[in-house]
Each structure stands twice: as structure tokens, then as C-alpha cells.
Structure 1
Amino acid sequence: MLPKVARTIRTPAVAAIVEDRIGRHGQISPTEKRPYVVWQVVSGQAYDNLSAAPGGDFTTVQIDCYHPTDAGVEQLAKAVRDALDAVLIVNRVAINNVDPDTKLYRIGLEADFIDQR
């Protein structure tokens, strides 16, 4: 239940927008330059069976894109979505708003990672 989120979404298109500003656990330093992407595990389920240890995991991850402009956050979210699509990870928009704390535009995607152990 430890998916390789940052490695999956760190494509040239995403890096062109956020460089290496991709943070785990939904956090990034308040002094960090904007825009950025953060992610966190929402839920996880092992593929349990009775005869052996689980062979894999199904993990839902929320990936939040933050940008100072509406057009910019849309471009960033599309780049993240394209990165997920390229490796066949099912994803969907879960949040689309202006964050009340940061005043940044935010689009949150949920992505379903299926990993073998």
C-alpha cells in the first residue's frame, strides 16, 4: 500500500510546471515556491487470500494540484492526468476549488494504484 506516486507523475510535462515540487502526505513547505503538487493515501486494501500473504494492493491516492491561476491549475491537472493515463492508472477529478487557506486554485484527482508486492 505504498504506491510510487511521485515517480509516476514526475513526467517532463509535470516537471516543466512544478519542477520537483511534489510532496507526500498532502504537505509541502509553506515557503516553497508555487505551483506544486501534493499527494496522500486515501484508502488501501490488500488482495487477501487464505493460503498465502497478499500478492498485491489496491490503493486510492488523492493528488492535489495547486497553482496561482485558474488556467495554470487546469494545465497542471491535465499534465498529471496524462501521466496517470500513460501507465493505465484509473483517475477522476474529486476537487475543483480555490483553497481557502492558500488562496491558490486547486484541482484534486483520485487515482487507483494496483501494485504487486
Structure 2
Amino acid sequence: MIAPIFAVCAASPAVTALLGVGPTRLYPHGEAPDGTAKPYAVWQVVSGSPINYVNGVPDTDRYGLQVDVYAETASSADAVVVALRRAIAQRAYITGFGIDTRDEDTHNYRKGFDVAWLVSQ
């Protein structure tokens, strides 16, 4: 099992208003097609572990995710981050804020945050 980040975000009207439908522009890291319209977001698993018990087999896994938003304007990036955070926070924990920068070459904005997601097996 893996964290259901896409399903949760794609079910949010606030997210799809900004990232579209068919496709919703939320991709696993490295899988956004070349030329994807902005804004879009990517996610990746950066850590994970089972929640172990002394007497028994783990029945829950913890995934640490990193979510990054790419946009042409800072306000657009902010809006997507807010929508994603609100959708994700209904099912997981926002644990930190990551990158907040503008690319020197493309002049696009990148903003990110971290998530801890508990997934029952």
C-alpha cells in the first residue's frame, strides 16, 4: 500500500480548480510530462517505515512525502500549496515547509512542504 495522495487531492474541488482534471496535474516525482502546463505539483516518498509492535505484525506504515509545486507566479504557487495542504490535512499530517524559491533560468516558482501519512495495510 502507498499513501493515497493522488486520490485525496484529485477528489478536492479546490485542488482540481487549480490543477485541472483529465489529467489532474499532480504527478509522482519525475513523471510530469515535458511541457506540462503550470501550475502543477509533484510528490515523492522520502522516508517510510512500518509501525512495529513488540507482539505482532505491523498493520500500519508511515510514509514521509515531499510535495513540490511549480508555477509561473508566486501567488499561483501559494494558491496551489494552500489547496493541497487543506486536502491532505484531512487525511495526513503536514510536518514541515520546504523549498520556497524561484528558478534562475526559468523564473518559475517552486514551493514545497512535507507530509507524514499513516496507511493501514
TM-score, normalized by length of structure 2?
Answer: 0.85
Q: Indicate the SS of the match to 1:27.
A: coil
Which residue does 2:4 correspond to in 1? 4
Q: CA-atom RMSD, angstroms?
A: 1.7
Which residue does 2:31 correspond to in 1? 27
Q: Which amino acid letter does the alignment assign opposite residue 6 of structure 2?
A: A
- Out of 93, 110, 114, which is 1:90 matched to? 93
Per-residue CA distance 1:52-86 (angstroms, 9 max, x = gap): 43211011100111110011101110111111222
Cα distance between partner residues in 1 of 2:114 and 2:50: 18
Per-residue CA distance 1:10-54 (angstroms, 9 max, x = gap): 211111111111101343112211110100001001112354432
Unaligned runs of 5+ in 1: none
- Out of 26, 29, 41, which is 2:45 matched to? 41
Cα distance between partner residues in 2 of 1:9 and 1:101: 30
**Identity over aligned pairs, percent:** 28
Runs of 4 or more off by more than 4 Å in structure 1? none
Distance 1:112 1:77, change over 3 A: same
Q: Indicate the SS of the match to 1:15.
A: helix
Q: Which amino acid letter does the alignment assign opposite residue 90 of structure 1?
A: Y
Cα distance between partner residues in 2 of 1:52 and 1:23: 35
Q: Which amino acid letter does the alignment assign opposite residue 9 of structure 2?
A: I
Distance 1:8 1:27, change over 3 A: same
Q: Which amino acid letter does the alignment assign opposite residue 17 of structure 2?
A: A
Unaligned runs of 5+ in 2: none
TM-score, normalized by length of structure 1?
Answer: 0.88
Q: Which amino acid letter does the alignment assign opposite residue 13 of structure 1?
A: A
